[in-house]
Amino acid sequence: MISLDALDRQEALFARAFAAGDLALARPLYRPDVVYLSPTVRLFGWPPRIEGVERTLAFIVLTVGRCRDVAYRCVERALVDGADAAYVQILFDWTADARRLRSRYVVAYRYREGGIAQQEIYYDPSAPPDVLEA
């Protein structure tokens, strides 16, 4: 079962990977057969269900490829009672075209054998990112 300490370590590793622009740093968090689900797939013409760690990382890299100065912060988290699962709320800040932007979303994680078996992203795909003050 996932613990809050393990979830915090996971999210800290995601933060480091995004800040470094090197999502390969997060590879050890995933099971090889991970399933990734996100409404963002429609923007890139990808299938609604991405399977496997290589395709998952490739898709995430595609979606953040033009983001600079990324700050990824877990601001809320919860474990699911009786399940090897967790939810986190993320603030994802980045610079694009000289503007500082923010996306807020929720991730549902399901674990199996100590790794992320499914990662599902929830956000309003019709809402633009927030523009942050300079």
Q: Yes or no: say if 104 and 121 are a contact pair by the CB < 8 Å rule.
A: no
Structure-token pair, residue 111 = 């674990």
Confidence of residue 48 (pLDDT cuts 50, 70, 90): very high
Structure-token pair, residue 54 = 């290589």
- Integer Cα distance of 12 and 14 in angstroms: 5
- Integer Cα distance of 109 and 79 in angstroms: 9
Q: Which helix (H) or strand (E) holds 41?
A: helix 41-44
Residue numbers of the domain that contains 32: 4-131
pLDDT for position 134: 62
- Integer Cα distance of 19 and 41 in angstroms: 22
Q: How many domains does the chain have?
A: 1
- Integer Cα distance of 101 and 103 in angstroms: 7
Largest CA distance in the chain: 45
Q: What is the DSSP letter of 27?
A: G
Average pLDDT across the chain, whole number? 96
Rg of the chain over CA atoms, in angstroms? 14
For the residues 11-26, what does the mean pLDDT come to? 97
Structure-token pair, residue 69 = 């100065």
CATH code, domain carrying 62: 3.10.450.50
Confidence of residue 125 (pLDDT cuts 50, 70, 90): confident
pTM attached to this predicted model = 0.95
pLDDT for position 38: 97
Q: Yes or no: say if 91 and 105 are a contact pair by the CB < 8 Å rule.
A: no
pLDDT for position 112: 97
